[in-house]
Amino acid sequence: MQQLSFTIARPQRPPETIVYPVSLILCLGFAGRDQDKVREHIRELEAIGVECPAKTPVIYPAGGLLATTDSVIQVVGGETGPEVEFVFLPYQKRLLVGLASDQTDRSLEKTSIYKSKQICPKPLSNILWDYEDLTDHWDKLVLRGWVGPEGQETLYQDSPASALLPVPTLLEHVRREYPNLEGAVILSGTVPTLGGLATPARFTALLHDPVLGREIRLTYGVQDLLAR
């Protein structure tokens, strides 16, 4: 079982370092609060030949070894792309929140969304927040993502947390299928892109808390093992 180290940052408290044993990853899909936005994301996928589910949200399991806090991930082929998301870690009766990217193989996705999730590493921020500090202003949090080389980034995703299912609803869906969440890494589902799906070699994500005046950033490069 893989163990990852994280730092929990809380207002007016010293940082807390934990080691989290990852048992599996649960990737939510089509988890938008606004069903019009969900259909927009479905249209993005259908446009590249993906067969989408009739009922949403959907939970796609992936192996725990795919979770990583490394700054570079390795993939096979140049058709994988990022998805900015929240990550939730159930930890000692607490819920920790961070930033993630559900890197997905867009070519394989046309055949099987399940397999497309399993084949790519899932970058995670090494900084986490305690959900307890966020409950009174959760919907004001903002997710953003940029694609492109450093200094030439293009805004790719930009949505408030209110674009996704409320956290209690999301966890209710997850626990219905996976009652034991010990060691689980839960990805919230993503928000629509601003200009269609991209497959960049570099991605930067941001989780912004305007109420407490803080943010988490996640930047990683993508190395295509087939590129010469």
Model pLDDT, residue 38: 81
Q: How many Å apart are CA 186 and CA 168, to the nearest integer?
A: 13
Peptide bond preceding 121: is omega within 30 degrees of 0, i.e. cis? no
pLDDT at residue 167 greater than cutoff 90: yes
More confident residue, 1 or 21: 21
Distance spanning both ends of the chain, measured CA to CA: 33
Domain with 36, as residue range(s), is: 2-224
Condensed to tens digits (0 to 9), the pLDDT of residues 51-107 reads 888 788 999 999 999 999 999 999 999 999 999 999 999 999 999 999 999 999 999
CATH code, domain with 204 = 3.90.850.10
CA angle 102, 85, 159 (to 5 degrees): 135
In whole angstroms, what is the distance from residue 63 CA to residue 61 CA? 7
Give the separation between CA 2 and CA 21, rounded to whole angstroms.
6
Residue closest to 124 by CA, chosen among 98, 104, 105, 146? 98
Distance CA 217, CA 91 (A): 22
* Number of folded domains that form the chain: 1
For the stretch 129-146, pLDDT in tens is 999 999 999 999 999 999
Q: Which has more confidence, 197 or 87?
A: 87
This model's pTM is above 0.75: yes
pLDDT in tens, 108-126: 988 898 999 999 999 999 9
